[in-house]
Amino acid sequence: MTVDAKDFKQAMRQCAGAVALVTVGAEHGKRTGLTVTSACSLSDTPPSLIVCVNRNASAHARIREEGAFAVNFLHEDHALLALTFSGQKGINGDDRFGFGQWTRGATGAPVLTDAVAAFDCVLAQEFETRTHSIFVGEVRDVSHSAMATPLVYLRSNFHTPREMREGVTIGDLDARHLSWTDFS
């Protein structure tokens, strides 16, 4: 049984994803990047993450060539930057870095200075699927801002998360009891 691609995409639009820029290129003029919601942690031993990149994306071949990339998670003021790196503003390659404040990471990859979190990685492994590669990055440097509000993509629009309940923490036994009771 196969699922229709349109149905699959519509279902995936119901799943919120953190918006990130995958950036690559140690040299000006050779940098590129793309917007993704397909980046997540893999392990803390060693610190690593995964990102899925379409093989048609300009960054795909560059990640293989450089052996390094950065994953920059965006905050609420970065919606236009997300659109720029998605190609929707007609700006390509190195010209995309004319927007935002960038620095060079430990690996040489471009790192967004005011990202919610930025992970500078070396390419550790790669797995290929029909249309995408799954890149495993071992983190060489990290930066983060606890004050920034993350940008998420849901139902074909950008959003920011909001707290469900005040004062509820994962480690709070009463909170866990309350949350499970709500679903019973």
**pLDDT profile of the chain (184 residues), mean per 10:** 92 95 94 96 97 96 97 96 92 93 97 97 97 98 94 94 70 57 53
Q: Where does 13-128 have alpha helices with state H?
A: 58-66, 79-85
* pLDDT confidence of residue 81: 96
- Alpha-carbon distance of 52 to 92, in angstroms, equals 20
The structural domains of the chain, with segments of one domain joined by +, span: 5-182
Class of domain 5-182: mainly beta
* pLDDT confidence of residue 142: 98
- Are 137 and 127 in contact, with CB atoms under 8 Å apart? no
- Alpha-carbon distance of 65 to 57, in angstroms, equals 14
Q: Which of 124, 128, 99 is nearest to 114 (CA)?
A: 99
* pLDDT confidence of residue 177: 57
